[in-house]
């Protein structure tokens, strides 16, 4: 554990440009001291995984990840007990049972599990789902999907769970002893969750025609849905069809003289350049670029003996040499020990508004799912003066993030993998008083699904937006 911790820290210091993006050097030193102390009290493989996961999450990048080796993953998936039996979902400030027909009633508020308050449990599980900066809303996405797995990772396998809960409409605390279930049985129950009709699209492998679309609500309002930017780059047929779609739709919007446009990106967790920028060019009146600053920490990929790449070690330097040449061309400017893009970079290409760019009232719908290129697009759009932003804080940051190229290393003893995006980006967005450094995009109207709409599987945010348009 000590050897791997030393390697992990050295990798971050030499390769990760986001190490001090949200944390001071003193804070980073402090958590590594915590990790060294924690190792003295640790004895199992998962103990060490939990320590590395805490360090990974602390940095504050949604592209950070700590991975388990395949053989260990297989052993976990084969476990036949030890897992909490029901999915849960965050609704109006409470964690509620998201399963109908079980021993706990649908919608019951979970207060404690095995004597520990849910607030403490959830705090302990945050480390398994990384987000940008200090964002917490998106961690609920991971918990609503993988709560049982996360609980097992942190607390170990449990034969049973003593659950304290409140039923719907009751202030009475009740207790129920639940037997644990297997890994696979939990995910079977998750697939049968109550909210499936409402949120199934969140988990779908979207087809091309499901990734974007448009519908007109009435004579004055339309809805542009952008669920993903994974549509290929400008050389692909998929991108060309997407570009033609945008051109056609915004011509129609202009010809029909629509006054209001709802842009729904609530499921958009990123994708390919330049699909985000192309969409924004139809929604702005200003010249813009992908970012105003981008840099990496190294001239050559460091510590290549730990670089997780499937080629023999003795020829690894030759392959990595090709990558290094590309990095040196993309990031030629050295300043204070970092390497920056120059004005010739494609990322600094200045885009202009499209001829048919929308000039009316824009209503942007966001959620904690929004990340990476999705949050870059949403941040730019939220920065427009004619945009009202509705929903919940995004996972991706407003002012910047670490993105683009990902490096993956394998720790030598444990074989845990650690992945992170190496390009520190400053986004081309205006400073706004309601947008906070280190946070996701903050909506103008904070709206989440209501309890009643959770029970009925209805869309609180879209209804709120349509009502707001009518009022305006």
Whether the pLDDT of residue 407 is over 80: the answer is yes
* DSSP character string of 342-380: -TTSGGGPPB---TT---SEEEEEE-TT--THHHHHHHH
Q: What is the pLDDT of residue 308?
A: 86
Mean pLDDT for 49-56 is 98
pLDDT, the chain, mean: 95
Q: What is the pLDDT of residue 203?
A: 92
Mean pLDDT for 4-33 is 97
Tell me the pLDDT tens digit for each residue of 238-269.
999 999 999 999 999 999 999 999 999 999 99
Whether the pLDDT of residue 277 is over 90: the answer is yes
Domain 208-471 in CATH 3.90.226.10? The answer is yes
Q: Taking the chain, what is the end-to-end CA distance rounded to the nearest angstrom?
A: 60
| Measured CA distances, 321 to 105, 163, 300, 301, 312 (Å) | 59, 56, 8, 9, 14
Q: What is the pLDDT of residue 231?
A: 95
User: Can you tell me the distance from the alpha carbon of 391 to that of 385, in angstroms, rounded to the nearest whole number?
Assistant: 18
3-class secondary structure, 328: helix
Q: Range with the lowest mean pLDDT among 7-11, 81-85, 119-123, 200-204?
A: 200-204
Q: What ranges in 200-315 are assigned the alpha helix state H?
A: 237-255, 275-281
User: Can you tell me the distance from the alpha carbon of 74 to that of 51, in angstroms, rounded to the nearest whole number?
Assistant: 21
Using 50, 70 and 90 to split pLDDT, how confident is the model at 346? confident
Q: What is the pLDDT of residue 227?
A: 97
**Which of these, 451, 461, 22, lies nearest to 194 by C-alpha position?**
451
Mean pLDDT for 267-280 is 95
Using 50, 70 and 90 to split pLDDT, how confident is the model at 348? confident
Tell me the pLDDT tens digit for each residue of 209-235.
999 999 999 999 999 999 999 999 999
Q: What is the pLDDT of residue 97?
A: 98
User: DSSP label at 296?
Assistant: E
User: Can you tell me the distance from the alpha carbon of 83 to that of 179, in angstroms, rounded to the nearest whole number?
Assistant: 9
For the domain bounded by 88-181, which CATH number is listed? 2.30.42.10
Rounded to 10 degrees, the C-alpha dihedral 99/101/105/110 comes to -40
Q: Range with the lowest mean pLDDT among 34-38, 308-312, 378-382?
A: 308-312
In this structure, are residues 419 and 410 in contact, taking their beta carbons and an 8 Å threshold?
no
Whether the pLDDT of residue 293 is over 80: the answer is yes
Q: What is the pLDDT of residue 309?
A: 74
Q: Where do the structural domains in the chain lie, given as residue ranges? A: 2-77, 88-181, 208-471
User: Can you tell me the distance from the alpha carbon of 240 to that of 233, in angstroms, rounded to the nearest whole number?
Assistant: 9
In this structure, are residues 427 and 289 in contact, taking their beta carbons and an 8 Å threshold?
no
**Which of these, 274, 275, 277, lies nearest to 211 by C-alpha position?**
275
Tell me the pLDDT tens digit for each residue of 134-150.
999 999 999 999 999 99
Tell me the pLDDT tens digit for each residue of 309-325.
766 666 767 778 888 99
């Amino acid at each position: 554990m000590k050897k791997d911790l030393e390697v992990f820290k050295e990798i971050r210091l030499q390769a990760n440009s986001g190490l001090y993006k949200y944390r001071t050097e003193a804070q980073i030193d402090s958590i590594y001291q915590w990790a060294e102390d924690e190792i003295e009290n640790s004895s199992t493989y998962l103990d060490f995984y939990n320590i590395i996961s805490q360090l990974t999450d602390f940095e504050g990048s949604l592209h950070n990840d700590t991975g388990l080796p395949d053989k260990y993953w297989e052993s976990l998936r084969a476990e036949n007990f030890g897992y909490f039996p029901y999915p849960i979902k965050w609704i109006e400030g409470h964690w509620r049972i998201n399963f109908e027909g079980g021993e706990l009633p649908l919608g019951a508020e979970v207060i404690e599990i095995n004597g520990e308050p849910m607030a403490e449990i959830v705090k302990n599980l945050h480390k398994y789902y990384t987000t940008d900066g200090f964002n917490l809303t998106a961690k609920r996405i991971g918990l609503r999907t993988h709560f049982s797995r996360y609980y097992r990772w942190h607390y170990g396998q449990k034969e049973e769970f003593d659950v304290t809960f409140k039923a719907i409409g009751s202030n009475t605390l009740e207790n129920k002893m639940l037997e644990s279930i297997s890994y696979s049985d939990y995910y079977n129950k998750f697939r049968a969750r109550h909210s499936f009709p409402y949120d199934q699209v969140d988990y779908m492998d979207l087809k091309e025609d499901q990734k974007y679309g448009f519908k007109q609500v009435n004579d004055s309002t339309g809805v542009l849905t952008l669920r993903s930017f994974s549509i290929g780059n400008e050389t692909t047929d998929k991108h060309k069809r997407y570009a033609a779609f945008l051109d056609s739709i915004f011509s129609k919007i202009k010809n029909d003289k629509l006054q209001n446009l709802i842009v729904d990106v609530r499921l958009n967790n990123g994708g390919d350049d330049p699909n985000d920028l192309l969409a924004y060019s139809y929604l702005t009146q200003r010249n813009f670029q992908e970012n105003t600053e981008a840099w990496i920490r190294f001239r050559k990929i460091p510590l290549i003996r730990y670089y997780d790449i499937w080629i023999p070690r003795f020829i690894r330097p030759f392959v990595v040499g090709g990558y290094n040449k590309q990095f040196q061309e993309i990031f030629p400017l050295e300043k204070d020990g970092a390497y920056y893009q120059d004005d010739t970079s494609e990322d600094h290409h200045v885009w202009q508004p499209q001829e048919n760019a929308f000039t009316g009232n824009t209503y942007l719908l966001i959620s904690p799912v929004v990340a990476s290129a999705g949050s870059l697009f949403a941040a730019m759009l939220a920065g427009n003066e004619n945009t009202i932003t509705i929903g919940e804080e995004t996972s991706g940051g407003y002012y910047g993030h670490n993105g683009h190229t990902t490096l993956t290393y394998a720790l030598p003893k444990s074989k845990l993998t650690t992945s992170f995006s190496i390009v520190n980006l400053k986004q081309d967005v205006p400073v706004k008083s309601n947008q906070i450094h280190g946070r996701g995009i903050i909506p103008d109207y904070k709206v989440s699904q209501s309890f009643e709409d959770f029970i009925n599987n209805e869309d609180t945010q879209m209804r709120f937006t349509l009502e707001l348009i009518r009022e305006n």
